[in-house]
Homo-oligomer: A and B are copies of this chain.
Amino acid sequence: MDSARPTETLHTKIIEDIRNKIVEGHWKPGHQLAKETELATRYGVARMTMNKVLTQLAQEGYVTRRKRSGTFVAQARVQSAVLEINNIGEEVAALGHSYSWTLLNSERRRMSQADLRALGVGRKVVEEEVLYLQGIHFAGNNPFCLETRAINLDVVPTALQMNFSKDVPGSWLLNTMPWSTARHQIRAVNASGRDAQLLDLPTGAACLEILRKTKIGTNWVTYARLLYPGEAHQLIAEFEPRAAGEAP
């Protein structure tokens, strides 16, 4: 019949189908799925098979299940042992400081080559229309993080209607595009003139630079550059052993 597709089993296909519905936003976080028996008949499989599907999706974190209540799409977040810094406000609060955010600059424009370089984007041809933002996260009265960000207006046009002097762009994006994937580059750099000035640091102070690229499907959503004073900040990463080449 069909050529050799080793991973295309029945329950694999159903898992992908449901996962797509969640990732692509047709089923929003909190949405209740039909019950096991109903989904089973709808897909034309036994309940045990459907159970396997839903159990796996629950393990992967896409849904949560409660007895008698049913199965629900989970609250998503781009999470990791390393980078629980998606919400810098929470991070600052955890350190026992008061948090505030100040927007320095916000403009709609096309990405320039300089912007692309500043955000660590390599060799990108198209210069899309973006919302370009810069601002500072404060812990108490001290600058905690300098954020420079470009938001893709093709993907998130509603960003134009937001007032980012009030809402923090990172948090807002996380709530708006919950099922995005992220790629980070982490480096140590010496603070340059303007960066050092904005973070209230002596020139040359070591800083942790995080370049984050966020995608949904094949489209990029946002590029961000987060610059932390080196002494004031560290990332924590905890790892379990895994076999080589496994994806959790």
Contact = CB atoms under 8 A, between A and B. Distances in A.
Interface string A160-187: 0000000000000000001111111111
Interface stretch (A36-44, A105-113, A121-129, A228-236): A228-236
A154 B60 CA distance: 38
A240 interface: yes
A181 B238 contact: yes
Given A188-B230, A246-B61, A79 B241 contact: yes
Contacts of A181: 238-241
Given A182-B238, A182-B239, A238-B182, A190 B244 contact: no
Nearest to A216: B241
A230 B82 contact: no
A62 B243 contact: yes
Given A181-B241, A243-B61, A243-B62, A234 B187 contact: yes
Contacts of A156: none
Contacts of A81: 80
A185 to B, nearest CB: 5
A208 interface: yes
Contacts of A207: 188, 206
Contact of A244 (B75, B206, B239, B248): B75
A240 B188 CA distance: 24
Contacts of A74: 243-244
A214 to B, nearest CB: 10
Interface of A: 23, 59-62, 64, 74-83, 178-190, 204-209, 228, 230-231, 233-244, 246, 248
26 contacts: A61-B241, A61-B243, A64-B243, A75-B243, A78-B241, A79-B242, A79-B243, A79-B244, A80-B81, A80-B237, A80-B242, A82-B237, A181-B240, A182-B238, A183-B236, A183-B238, A184-B237, A185-B237, A186-B236, A186-B237, A187-B235, A189-B206, A189-B230, A190-B206, A206-B230, A208-B208
Given A64-B243, A187-B208, A187-B233, 16 more contacts: A23-B241, A61-B241, A62-B243, A76-B242, A76-B243, A80-B81, A80-B82, A82-B82, A83-B237, A181-B240, A182-B238, A183-B237, A185-B237, A188-B188, A188-B208, A190-B206
